[in-house]
Amino acid sequence: MKVKLAIITGASKGLGASIARRMMTEGTGIISVSRTENPELAKLSAEKQVFYAQYFCNLSSPDELESVFSELTALLQEKKPETVYVFNNAGVIDPIGTAGNLNHAALIQNAHVNLIAPIMISNILLREVSSEMVIVNITSGAAERPIQGWSAYCSTKAGINMFTETAALELQTAGSSHKIIAFSPGVMDTDMQGTIRSSEKEAFHDLEKFQEYKEKGMLRDTETVANALAGLLHKEIESGKVYYVNDLI
């Protein structure tokens, strides 16, 4: 039997949990990497009779990430799956604020979670895993346009887009069958949106627009977005490309 596994960071809630649920319905085993566990995922894996493992990890700690992914790659070498999907999904929006008023601790955490962790994870897995891999870096429209108050988030998401493009070129040059893409999920009804709406007007210029998204029901549910992403992965994808949910729904 051909085994497929999906590694998902931030799988305990939001888009990550929705991706996990969708992948399990397709018979794909789940390796969740997050700070907390979602008991529903373990329950669903039992119902669907697919593999499930939880690794607790603070992605803002490079040492912890190295340690966890050392264990995780050993598991992959033991399981020998035919295909490994990697969803670098975990992300943070803070610090929200204008340049000159940013909290440095929050800024460092933002860079670690949004940019350094996905690069490290991709680096480790590309080095250690022989199974065919599809790496999906969750990005944002904020990677391509400046949003006042989001300089850290815009910058790290722009960085992950450039990493995706560069790594794809390198894989192509090496003749590798691995693929790496970025996926922009649009505005979704998640905890991150709650954080955005609770920020101060002085810190975030577009506050009222994002409050309006919620009030007028303009936020997509994460299940819809996860289904669009899963559908994309059934097609022939172009390594290095940024895919947008609005083009898939």
Task: Give the active site residues.
Answer: 153
Side chain identity at 230, as an amino acid letter?
Answer: A
**Which residue is listed with tokens 């596994």?**
5
Q: What number of other Cβ atoms are within 10 A of residue 28's Cβ?
A: 23
Separation of CA 236 from chain center = 20
Rounded distance, CA 227 to CA 208, Å?
Answer: 29
Rounded distance, CA 147 to CA 184, Å?
Answer: 16
Q: Is the dihedral of CA 69, 72, 76, 77 positive or negative?
A: positive
150 contacts: CB under 8 Å, gap ≥ 6: 93, 96, 142, 204
Distances (CA, A) of 56 to 72, 120, 124, 129: 11, 17, 17, 21
Rounded distance, CA 75 to CA 206, Å?
Answer: 45
